[in-house]
């Protein structure tokens, strides 16, 4: 199962707060106002199928994992 890890940076680009999020196929995520399910994890981009049925390629640092 493929996973991708990303880290959060502050506005100055410093990695003072390191946060790792692992995305897997099937995870529910939000990107701005869109909600969907991860369908593929690549080396740079994550493919998400939105609840509206569209496929999107998204940078992992733009995603928020939905728990629950």
DSSP string, 26-59: T-EEEETTEEEEEEEE-SS-EEEEETTS-EEEE-
Say if residues 44 and 38 touch (Cβ distance below 8 Å): no
- Kindly report the pTM of this predicted structure: 0.70
**Cα 32 versus chain centre, distance:** 11
Tracing tokens 């080396």 back to the chain, one arrives at: 43
CB 25 within 8 A of CB 40: yes
Q: What's the CA gap between 38 and 20, in Å, rounded?
A: 17
Give 4-61 pLDDT, tens digit per residue: 555 555 555 555 556 677 899 999 999 999 999 999 998 889 999 999 999 999 999 9
What domains, with CATH codes, occur in the chain? 4-65 (2.30.30)
């Amino acid at each position: 199962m493929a996973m991708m890890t990303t880290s959060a940076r502050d506005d100055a680009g410093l990695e003072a707060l390191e946060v790792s999020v692992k995305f897997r196929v099937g995870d529910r995520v939000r990107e701005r106002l869109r909600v969907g399910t991860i369908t593929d994890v690549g080396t740079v981009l994550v493919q998400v199928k939105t609840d509206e049925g569209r496929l999107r390629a998204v940078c992992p640092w733009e995603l928020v994992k939905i728990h629950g």
